[in-house]
């Protein structure tokens, strides 16, 4: 279990969190490589179906930020 | 020898100057050419005219802008630096080329002598700057401190940490926005060593190493051996520029920089000829970019009548119809120099992309965004019949529009494009784990390719633009911006929350060049009042903003009166103010003043100033402190100017300046020198041992640790002036009104620190003045003209394009619940009243901002969002 790494599907709002994730890169903040980011035009675009789909396809966590 | 690589590499007699050259064409170097003429005969395209001669072309123009830049100082004229004697003494520009991925060493950090990776690297500051010797320049070049720190940090990145950078300096001048924080990080996190010193000599020793002999802060002579020495060379005006200025008949100052007035910072002494960039004075990229726009704004006033008379329309190839065709996806993976390729295995990602469904073409590029790659990309799209494009590179936030334009140039609809963010969200944040970063890059490319296969062409909608600008803030910045727009013939509403125009400038005495600010502000306010195009709205507050670029609707409140204002663009010029300190007895002793209070005494011609025997200034009060880390930029110059003013009024007065680093950048250095010549005494103090002020009966007593005597010293002063920080005005609701961010210090954040210094990321909103960062009045004026230029660029076209990524309803599935109508913040959906689908919802694409709120809330699944469609996002989730 020690080498288990979670896979996290991430929905980031284009206008805030996605830009923040870019800024984290510009600032060279280091974080674990377990996220896969999907850009959405607004967190309002994230339908509950997306979250369920992410879990159904094997994500261990879903993060919606906006 | 390749001049672009500063002679560190070689080139042929026929070559392209550098990979990003515009136009990207070969040329013949006549100095290297042996004159065989073979190239002309074998060129299949017949593109070479071997006997081509320089041509003379005459143009009729209404205004001219001089942007010829500067030369670098040649350190070879000063023997002490051993430049030219040892190949391991390089200039900062040569070091830039060494670090560059497209440079002579392909971005590998090596020293020229033996191509070994240097471990100990020294930067020597102020080479050819701040030096009154005849072969040098007396001014500060303004940019070298910052680039030296940047080079030191990047050198560490290139060598993966095994580099020990040391910067030898006199004063660390990190006075720009976020610069001080960068300096702090370089010292505290990256381990860059900073030694305050004067250099004695650089001597070559064995193995190509160099011994630097220097005098440190305490006056002790020391020496240390380094593997590589970088000379931070400054700017100087080239001979050709001086000749050109002579031909144009424009005035130059004593250093040959174009002479300008603080209140017209881009206007030369000759009417109609403008300047921008380093020919006007030493400066960095953001300031140069601002001045470039400022020069455009200033010349637009002269040319407003002839606008659109000589316009050539860019021909776009007709759009290829891709509907019904199977996807043929081209994937372009960017190395971004070493930004991506230094971490992610780019060839592996590229080869992986080739295995993905519908991918018919892959390639990797050193810089996918470069002009040459863009041209090639458009050709490849056409040749390979690509109908969907994926670029794996930086971020769509900055580069999507550029690549979309390339698609249009190749005849593809711009929405047939998708980006995989493998730099900002991958290589930059997983630098220590290349394997995982490469895996993530592959996943991101796979997700992007999957979405790309489902993309469809979308139309943009053209909308009208309200040709009115709202300027928020009636200080100098707001007024200059409003006046320029009015002079260009556009209508402006200038909103000021107080009763008076003028802002902080009303309290300032003189510019650093000695011009009278009071008279200027009064004249400017009078002109604004008289201008028929400017509607001045005093005592007015902005209470709400709706809409978007081209079509804003703002609510203004003046007392009980409420006004609705329709405008196409807005400029934020809300300014800043002086920090009122609590330290150094301020507020408890009337002899302790701030800079503005001192200026007020100058303006009132206070007779006391002629009577007092001594005055002291303390710098960095409230700036460069742990809880307010930024440098307020203008205070050092303000202090030396005030010190000189005191000396002018009373030559016998003793003036002391207590400082941490004197930051009299650019030609302001002259003031610093003059102050010393006139007998102003400068004491340096550290943040750890700040001066202590006590209020004696006859005079204030200031106790400090003298750095040279190494003992405590007590100064007596009849007056103490605190150079306090500049704080931004409270941003308040403006951030939510315009959807614009502020940084930790409360200053607004521009779209791009270097390349878009007056734009916000939100379209149609611009920024200038102290709200952006502390700056002197000439810099504020240049930035305000730049904001006017950017605003007029939009207004002049009279239209905006609304994105094609909008929601669309399938009326067959709509159950008429009305949730979309109630939920939409932009009132885009409505219920159709007639026709076949009466009672069902429809969406007005002009009003729709593409947020997708209605899509996620539609219970019938009748709404989909173009560009972020259900099937597209689901497909991406599937591939996570």
Q: Is residue A29 part of a domain?
A: yes
The answer to whether residue B739 scores a pLDDT higher than 80 is yes
Tokens of B28: 């013949």
A7 vs B: CB within 8 A: yes
pLDDT range class, residue B44, cuts 50, 70, 90: confident
A59 vs chain B: nearest CA distance in angstroms?
Answer: 8
Chain B nearest C-alpha distance from A28 (Å): 6
Report d(CA A30, CA B741) in Å as an integer: 23
Asked if B600 contacts B645 with a C-beta cutoff of 8 angstroms, the reply is no
For residue B166, report the phi and psi dihedrals to the nearest 5 degrees. Answer: -130, 135
Task: Judge whether B368 and B334 are in contact, CB under 8 Å.
Answer: yes
Containing structural domain, residue A43: 8-65
Any B CB within 8 A of A30 CB: yes
CA distance B359 to chain A (A): 21
Q: Which positions in chain B touch A47 (Cβ < 8 Å)?
A: 855-856, 870
Average pLDDT, chain B: 94
Quote ipTM for the complex.
Answer: 0.97
pLDDT at B160 over 70: no
DSSP string, B74-124: -GGG-GGG-BTTBTTEEEHHHHHHHH-TTSTTTT----TTT-PPPSEEEEE
Q: What is the DSSP string of B581-620?
A: -SSTTTTT-TTEEEHHHHHHHHHTT-THHHH-SEEEEEEE
A19 within some domain:
yes
Residue B458 contacts A where some CB pair is shorter than 8 Å: no
- Nearest-by-Cβ selection for A46 from B426, B437, B856: B856
| DSSP class per residue in B638-668 | HHHHHHHHHHHH-TT-EEEEEESS----GGG
B739 near A CB under 8 A? yes
Residues of B in contact with A30 (CB under 8 A): 429-432
Chain-centroid distance, C-alpha B594: 30
Minimal Cβ distance to B425: which of A22, A40, A46: A22
Nearest CA in chain A to B429: A30
Does the structure show a pLDDT above 90 at B9? Answer: no
Q: Is A51 on the interface with B (CB under 8 A)?
A: no
The 10s digit of each residue's pLDDT in B399-411 is: 999 999 999 999 9
In tens, the pLDDT along B760-819 reads: 988 899 999 999 999 999 999 999 999 999 999 999 999 998 889 999 999 999 999 999
The whole-number average pLDDT for the span B395-420 is 95
Q: Over the stretch B596-634, which tens digit does the pLDDT of each residue have?
A: 999 999 999 999 999 999 999 999 999 999 999 999 999
Residues of A in contact with B398 (CB under 8 A): 22
Gap from A48 CA to chain B (nearest CA, Å):
8
Average pLDDT on B149-175 reads 92
Q: Angle at CA B227, nearest 5°, toward B224 and B229? A: 80
Token couple for B57: 């072309």
Q: Report the domain count for chain A.
A: 1
Q: Which of B697, B698, B693, B696 is CA-nearest to residue B721? A: B693
Q: Residue A1 pLDDT > 70, yes or no?
A: no
- The model's confidence at residue B161, banded by pLDDT at 50, 70 and 90, is low
- Hey, is the C-beta of A29 within 8 angstroms of any chain B C-beta? yes
Domains of chain B, first to last: 74-236 (3.50.50.60), 239-304 (no CATH), 329-456 (3.40.50), 468-577+729-798 (3.50.50.60), 578-727 (3.50.50.60), 807-879 (3.30.70.20)
Nearest CB neighbour to B852, from listed A31, A33, A42: A42
Q: Strand, helix or coil at B436? A: helix
**The pLDDT of residue B1 is above 80:** no
Cβ distance A42 to B444 less than 8 Å, yes or no, reads no
Check CB contact of A28 with chain B, cutoff 8 Å: yes
Contact between residue B360 and residue B329 where contact means Cβ atoms under 8 Å apart: yes
Q: Phi/psi class of residue A27: alpha, beta or left (left: φ > 0; alpha: ψ in -120 to 50)?
A: alpha
Q: How close, in Å, is residue A50 to chain B by CA atoms? A: 7
Burial level of B116, CB count in 10 A (0-12/13-18/19+)? Answer: middle
What whole-number distance in Å separates Cα of residue B621 and Cα of residue B609?
23
A19 CB neighbours in chain B (<8 A) are 397, 761
**Cβ(B494)–Cβ(B539) under 8 Å?**
no
**CB-CB under 8 Å, B739 with A15:** yes
A25 interfaces chain B, CB cutoff of 8 Å: yes
> Which of A19, A36, A46 minimises the CB distance to B443?
A36
Q: Which residue among A31, A44, A54 places its CB closest to the CB of B851? A: A44
Please give the residue that has the higher pLDDT: either B639 or B371: B639
Residues from chain B that touch A59, judged by Cβ atoms under 8 A, are 877, 880
Residue B38, pLDDT > 70, answer: yes
- B426 neighbourhood in chain A, CB within 8 Å: 25, 33
All residues of chain B having their beta carbon less than 8 Å from the beta carbon of residue A54 are: 877, 880
Chain-centre distance for alpha carbon B701: 43
> Which chain A residues contact residue B870 at CB under 8 A?
47, 49
Asked if the C-beta of A50 comes within 8 angstroms of chain B's C-beta atoms, the answer is: yes
B536: number of CA atoms within 13 Å, CB side?
Answer: 22
* Average pLDDT value for residue range B679-704: 94
Mean pLDDT on B358-378: 92
Q: Which residues of A touch B850 (CB under 8 A)?
A: 41
For residue range A6-53, list pLDDT tens digits in order: 999 999 999 889 989 998 898 888 999 999 999 999 999 999 999 999
The CA–CA distances, whole Å, from B97 to A5, B322, B571 equal 41, 43, 39
Question: What tokens appear for A50 in the block?
Answer: 């997306």
Q: How far is B393 from chain A (nearest CA, A)?
A: 12
Name B203's Cβ contacts closer than 8 Å, sequence gap at least 6. Answer: B82, B210, B211, B213
Asked if residue B551 lies in contact with residue B466, where contact means CB atoms within 8 angstroms, the answer is yes
Three-state DSSP at B274 gives strand
Q: Is B435 on the interface with A (CB under 8 A)?
A: no
List strand residue ranges (DSSP E) for B208-272, in order.
210-216, 221-226, 228-233, 235-236
**For the ranges B150-164, B288-302, B408-422, which has the lowest average pLDDT?**
B150-164
Q: Does A3 touch chain B (CB under 8 A)?
A: no
pLDDT digits (tens, 9 = 90+) for B88-142: 999 999 999 999 887 888 888 999 999 999 999 999 999 999 999 888 899 999 9
In a domain, A1, yes or no: no
Q: Residue A36: which of B396, B850, B880 has the nearest Cβ?
A: B880
Question: In chain B, whose CA is at the least distance from the CA of A5?
Answer: B436
pLDDT of amino acid B311: 87
Distance from CA of A11 to the nearest CA of B (A): 10
Residue, of B198 and B316, whose pLDDT is higher: B198
Distances in Å between the Cα of B637 and the Cα atoms of B39, B634, B671 are: 57, 6, 7
B163-199, pLDDT tens digit by residue? 999 999 999 999 999 999 999 999 999 999 999 999 9
Closest approach of B351 to chain A, Cα-based (Å): 21
Q: B462 pLDDT exceeds 70?
A: yes
Nearest residue on chain A to B437, alpha-carbon basis:
A33
Residue among B432, B850, B873 minimizing CB distance to A38: B873
User: CB A38 to CB B876 under 8 A?
Assistant: yes
Cis peptide before B722 (omega within 30 of 0): no
């Amino acid at each position: 279990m020690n080498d288990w790494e979670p896979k996290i599907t991430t929905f980031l709002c284009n206008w805030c969190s996605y830009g923040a994730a870019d800024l984290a890169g510009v600032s060279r903040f280091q974080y674990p490589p377990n996220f896969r980011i999907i850009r959405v035009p607004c967190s309002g675009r994230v339908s509950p179906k997306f979250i369920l789909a992410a879990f159904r396809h094997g994500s261990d966590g879903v993060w919606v930020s906006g | 020898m390749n001049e672009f690589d500063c002679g560190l590499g070689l080139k042929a007699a026929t070559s392209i100057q550098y990979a990003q050259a515009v136009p990207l064409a070969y040329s013949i170097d006549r100095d290297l050419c042996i004159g065989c003429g073979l190239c002309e005969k074998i060129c299949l395209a017949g593109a070479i005219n071997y006997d081509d001669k320089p041509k003379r072309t005459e143009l009729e123009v209404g205004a001219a802008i001089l942007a010829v830049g500067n030369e670098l100082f040649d350190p070879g004229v000063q023997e002490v630096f051993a430049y030219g004697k040892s190949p391991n003494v390089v200039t900062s520009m040569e070091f830039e080329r060494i670090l560059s991925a497209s440079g002579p060493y392909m971005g590998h950090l090596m020293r020229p002598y033996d191509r070994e990776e240097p471990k100990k690297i020294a930067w020597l500051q102020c080479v050819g700057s701040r030096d009154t010797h005849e072969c040098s320049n007396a001014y500060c070049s303004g940019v070298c401190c910052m680039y030296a720190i940047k080079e030191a940090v990047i050198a560490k990145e290139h060598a993966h940490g095994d580099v020990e950078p040391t910067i030898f300096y006199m004063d660390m001048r990190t006075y720009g926005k976020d610069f001080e924080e960068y300096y702090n990080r370089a010292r505290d996190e990256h381990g860059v060593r900073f030694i305050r010193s004067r250099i004695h000599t650089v001597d070559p020793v064995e193995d190509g190493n160099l011994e630097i002999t220097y005098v440190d802060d305490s006056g002790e002579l020391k020496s240390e051996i380094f593997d590589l020495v970088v000379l931070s060379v400054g700017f100087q005006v080239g001979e050709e520029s001086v000749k050109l200025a002579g031909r144009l008949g424009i005035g130059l100052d004593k250093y040959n920089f174009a002479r300008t007035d603080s209140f017209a910072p881009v206007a030369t002494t000759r009417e109609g000829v403008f300047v921008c960039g380093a020919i006007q004075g030493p400066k960095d990229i953001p300031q140069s970019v601002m001045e470039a726009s400022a020069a455009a704004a200033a010349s637009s006033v002269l040319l407003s009548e002839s606008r659109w008379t000589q316009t050539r329309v860019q021909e776009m190839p007709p759009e290829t119809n891709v509907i019904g065709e199977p996807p043929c996806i081209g994937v372009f993976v960017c190395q971004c120099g070493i930004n991506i390729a230094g971490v992610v295995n780019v060839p592996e990602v590229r080869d992986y992309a080739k295995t993905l469904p519908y991918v018919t073409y892959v390639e990797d590029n050193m810089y996918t965004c470069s002009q040459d790659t863009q041209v090639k990309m458009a050709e490849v799209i056409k040749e390979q019949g690509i109908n969907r494009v994926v670029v794996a590179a930086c971020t769509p936030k900055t580069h999507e529009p550029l690549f979309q334009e390339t698609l249009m140039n190749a005849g593809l609809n711009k929405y047939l494009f998708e980006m995989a963010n493998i730099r900002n969200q991958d290589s930059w944040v997983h630098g220590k784990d290349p394997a995982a970063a490469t895996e993530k890059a592959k996943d991101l490319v796979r997700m992007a390719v999957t979405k790309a296969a489902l993309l469809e062409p979308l139309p943009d909608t053209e909308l009208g633009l309200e040709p009115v600008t709202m300027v928020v803030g009636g200080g100098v910045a707001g007024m200059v911006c409003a006046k320029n727009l009015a002079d260009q013939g556009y209508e402006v509403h200038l909103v000021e929350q107080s009763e008076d125009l003028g802002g902080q400038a009303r309290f300032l005495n003189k510019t650093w060049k000695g011009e009278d600010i009071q008279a200027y502000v009064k004249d400017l306010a009078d002109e604004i009042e008289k201008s028929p195009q400017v509607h001045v709205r005093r005592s007015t507050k902005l209470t709400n903003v709706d809409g978007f670029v081209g079509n804003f609707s703002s609510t203004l409140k003046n007392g009980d009166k409420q006004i609705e204002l329709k405008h196409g663009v807005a400029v934020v010029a809300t300014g800043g103010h002086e920090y009122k300190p609590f330290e150094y007895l301020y507020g408890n002793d009337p002899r302790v003043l701030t800079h503005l209070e001192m200026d007020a005494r100058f303006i009132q011609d206070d007779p006391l100033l002629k009577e007092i025997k001594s005055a002291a200034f303390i710098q960095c009060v409230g700036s460069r402190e742990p809880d307010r880390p930024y440098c307020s930029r203008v205070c050092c110059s303000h202090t030396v100017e005030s010190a000189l003013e005191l000396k002018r009024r009373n030559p016998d007065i003793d003036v002391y300046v207590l400082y941490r680093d004197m930051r009299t950048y650019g030609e302001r250095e002259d003031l610093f020198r003059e102050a010393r010549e006139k007998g102003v005494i400068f004491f340096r103090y550290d943040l750890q041992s700040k001066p202590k002020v006590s209020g004696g009966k006859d005079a204030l007593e200031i106790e400090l640790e003298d750095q040279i005597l190494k003992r405590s010293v007590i100064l007596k002063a009849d007056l103490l002036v605190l150079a306090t920080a500049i704080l931004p005005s409270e941003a308040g609701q403006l951030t939510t009104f315009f959807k614009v961010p502020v940084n930790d210090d409360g200053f607004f954040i521009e779209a791009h620190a270097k390349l878009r210094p007056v734009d916000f990321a939100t379209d149609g909103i611009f920024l200038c003045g102290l709200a952006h960062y502390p700056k002197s009045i000439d810099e504020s004026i240049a930035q305000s003209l730049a904001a006017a230029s950017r605003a007029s660029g939009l207004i002049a076209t009279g239209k905006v394009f609304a994105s094609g990524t909008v929601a669309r309803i399938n009326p067959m599935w709509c159950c008429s619940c009305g949730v979309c109508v109630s939920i939409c913040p932009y009132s885009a959906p409505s219920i159709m009243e007639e026709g076949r689908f009466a009672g069902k919802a429809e969406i007005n694409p002009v009003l729709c901002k593409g947020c997708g709120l209605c899509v996620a809330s539609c219970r019938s699944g009748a709404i989909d969002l173009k560009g972020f469609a259900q099937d597209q996002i689901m497909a991406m989730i599937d591939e996570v």
